Amino acid sequence: AMQEERYSLRADFSRATLKPTLAELDSVRVELSQSTKARQELQELYEASQLQTQQQAIELETTRAKLVEEQQEVEALARGLRLAREQVTELEESVSGQRSTAALSDLQGHDEADVSDCPIAPMATPEPNPFG
């Protein structure tokens, strides 16, 4: 009977000791489950963030490539504009030089005395119009 009582006391003691431990275990399981869910959510957010970062990197690279292309076009237009300006300047200098040469030759070819001595040519009579 004493032995039985001793076993009964041990069983009661064990149950009393195990009950809080089991409750703690259940609490830990719930926390672990919540933690696992939170970790999964964080992982999903991280993956979504990575995907968004990759998409932004692709967009950035596409934009950079377009900008490089536009810059090359602008540089080509600037070169064309410089070339056109140089050609205009050369033409202006050429025309200015031709005018100067023509004016100089006019001055050298005629002096005032020669001009006043030139006879005025008589006007030619117009020819009759064959159609009219």
Q: Which residue has the higher pLDDT, 118 or 104?
A: 104
pLDDT at 52: 97
- Mean per-residue pLDDT, 72-91: 96
Mean pLDDT (the chain, rounded): 82
In a domain, 88, yes or no: yes
Number of domains in the chain: 1
In a domain, 19, yes or no: yes
**pLDDT at residue 1 tops 80:** no
Half-sphere exposure of 45 (CA within 13 A, CB side): 6
In a domain, 131, yes or no: no
| Distance in angstroms (rounded) separating the CA atoms of residues 51 and 81 | 45
Enclosing domain of residue 37:
8-100
- Mean per-residue pLDDT, 75-86: 96
Percent residues over pLDDT 70 in the chain: 72
pLDDT at 120: 57
| Distance in angstroms (rounded) separating the CA atoms of residues 106 and 114 | 12
In a domain, 27, yes or no: yes
pLDDT at 17: 72
Where do runs of H (alpha helix) occur along the chain? 2-109, 112-117
**pLDDT at residue 108 tops 60:** yes
What pTM does this model have?
0.44
In a domain, 91, yes or no: yes
Residue with tokens 């008589």: 122
